[in-house]
A and B are shown apart, each in its own frame.
Chain A
């Protein structure tokens, strides 16, 4: 199949997938046996049928479910994700506010993933079945096995509470005002406006949560790099490279790694999902005001519109990231016949 045909097919399926996502999110969030109004109304108000009926009408819960869904989809098409019952604000506005914090955290975690995960995988492949390989395997498997919320607590306890080397939860110290809003990423904004003290503080706050969030993907990427590099090292052209007298480092860096990193691209796409899952817990531990913590609050408040909004947005972003990863995979490696 031609690449453009494949892309066209994937894009054609996209709306169907997004409708599926909204439908699933809708079904899930309306399974609720508990009454979401019970979370916002006092017990006395719940006993007053007039107030309850007024609230139901206000939030559209008095209509039949299929109609509620159609209204939701119609609003969604206009970029309206509904209103949060907990914050009393449009969900889209909430998400726009919390998104930059999550983006900053996720990007920082990706930095750890790439700069620790790939070298670890390379070392493991070069020293295959010797002690650096075993050590790398153990490190990688700790990364994918460690409960993120526990690792976060542990590191906070050691580096903040006991040693006091790093700041505690949050994006900035309480006495430091956030930098002017340009991108919403505190590190980038303070860099752009030249507020070095703020930048230093923001980076210090970012270090632990990014490390915690990146631990899992670091492990996954290093295992991936190892097996794909081993695969490449067994190829004929590597024997040629060796035969023509290239140094070992030139063989690995110039010939093998370039090809071995291609499959890693797909892992980045998959890693996004893991990072979003991890963000839910990491943001809770580090009081990080992002989408993950918003999702947790929405879930514990039975804030239906917010749950739907956040899951729909995250899922849609996830499939777009994966689509981009798949396409670039096809572009980078002409041997791959995608589709089929």
Chain B
């Protein structure tokens, strides 16, 4: 199947081996060279801070009902208004970060680890094994992400944990494919040959030499995917397969405002929260991708 030719698999680092610390420092310096990546990082850091501090900075308990102040439009007391049970939407939106941020990061961490292991081993071993593994990955990739995630969540039963599991199932093959391509490109290099010649065992070559030289495109992809994972989870919640009420999950909150056009604030603010978080991750990923693509790097063309 086609691979986006957006050149995320070109790696400006892997020409020679460098120490991990230098590479990490390089990534940070790269971020500082792109305004988009910087803006993305700033947005992400702000939301991470909100997620951590939510219990201390929210003006109200996110679950506390106040039926005498229900469906109030945004005002000085309830900045984002209140919902049909009189809960403070501002507090709930801030609390929502405690669900969506860790969810996105955890889902992508799990999928990338599975994908890196499967794709890395598959690419390194090669032959029939590789062929079979990649055909299995193709089967997963044949389904549009939300459609497969929806079927899995429906089968396992609605809920946030099952939704997360479903997104991991949907995402891992994309990592397996990217990392396999990287491994195939890296594996023929001289330094891998050298490591093999001095008798290093396969698992050591994979862990110490192959993976570290393949992870830059994965970093870009992971950043974009955290946003995507947050959106899929919110979409599942919106159609009733994810977080059940009264969880302050943003997708669930938007669906509460679905029939209430006059009370626009119920759906609008959680959606804005989602939009900004996901934009943060997309800005970071998009900015990094520009910098890492050698053909369109500033001053090279």
On A, residues with C-beta under 8 Å from B are: 13, 16-17, 20-21, 23-25, 28-34, 129, 134, 137, 141-142, 144-151, 153-154, 156-157, 161-162, 223-224, 227-228, 230-231, 233-234, 263, 266-267, 269-270, 272-274, 276-278, 280-281, 284-285, 295-296, 298-300, 302, 307, 310-311, 314-316, 318-319, 322-323, 325-326, 329
Contacts and interface: CB of A to CB of B under 8 A. Distances in A.
Closest 6 CB pairs of A and B: A150-B271, A234-B301, A20-B139, A299-B154, A277-B146, A161-B261
Contact of B148 (A28, A129, A142): A28
B144 A149 contact: no
A227 B2 contact: no
Nearest to A36: B155
Given A267-B4, A273-B144, A227 B279 contact: no
B2 A270 contact: yes
B235 A149 contact: yes
Nearest to A302: B154
| Among B138, B152, B231, B267, residue most surrounded by chain A Cβ atoms (within 10 Å) | B231
Given A281-B235, A299-B150, A142 B144 contact: no
B286 A137 contact: yes
Contact of A314 (B6, B144, B231, B264): B144
Contact of A147 (B144, B254, B261, B298): B254
Interface in B11-35: 35
Contact of B267 (A154, A273, A307): A154
Interface stretch (B122-130, B195-203, B208-216, B236-244): B236-244
10 contacts: A144-B227, A149-B235, A230-B296, A266-B5, A269-B2, A280-B235, A298-B154, A311-B143, A315-B147, A318-B144
A233 B143 contact: no
A336 B151 CA distance: 36
Contacts of A285: 258
A202 to B, nearest CB: 23
A28 B257 contact: no
B275 A300 contact: no
Nearest to B278: A145
Contacts of A156: 261
B161 interface: no
Interface in B245-274: 250-251, 254-255, 257-258, 261-262, 264, 267-268, 270-271, 274
B54 to A, nearest CB: 20
Interface of B: 1-2, 4-7, 35-36, 135-136, 138-140, 142-148, 150-157, 227, 231, 234-235, 238-241, 250-251, 254-255, 257-258, 261-262, 264, 267-268, 270-271, 274-275, 278-279, 282-283, 286, 290, 293, 295-296, 298, 301
A217 to B, nearest CB: 12
Contacts of B254: 147, 149-150, 153
A145 B239 contact: no
Contacts of B271: 147, 150-151, 153-154
A21 B142 contact: yes
Given A21-B143, A154-B271, A300-B240, A224 B151 contact: no
Contacts, number: 190
B275 A307 contact: no
Contacts of B264: 157
Contacts of A148: 235
Contacts of B145: 273, 277
Contacts of A278: 146
Contact of B241 (A21, A25, A300, A315): A300
A263 B5 contact: yes
B134 to A, nearest CB: 10
A268 to B, nearest CB: 10
A147 B283 contact: no
Nearest to B259: A153
Contacts of B286: 137, 141, 223
Nearest to A278: B146
Given A154-B267, A230-B301, A234-B295, A276 B144 contact: yes
A25 B255 CA distance: 28
| Among A29, A129, A146, residue most surrounded by chain B Cβ atoms (within 10 Å) | A146
Given A141-B282, A315-B143, 15 more contacts: A20-B142, A28-B151, A28-B152, A145-B278, A148-B235, A223-B6, A230-B296, A234-B296, A276-B147, A277-B147, A299-B150, A300-B239, A314-B147, A315-B142, A319-B1
A21 to B, nearest CB: 5
B258 A153 contact: yes
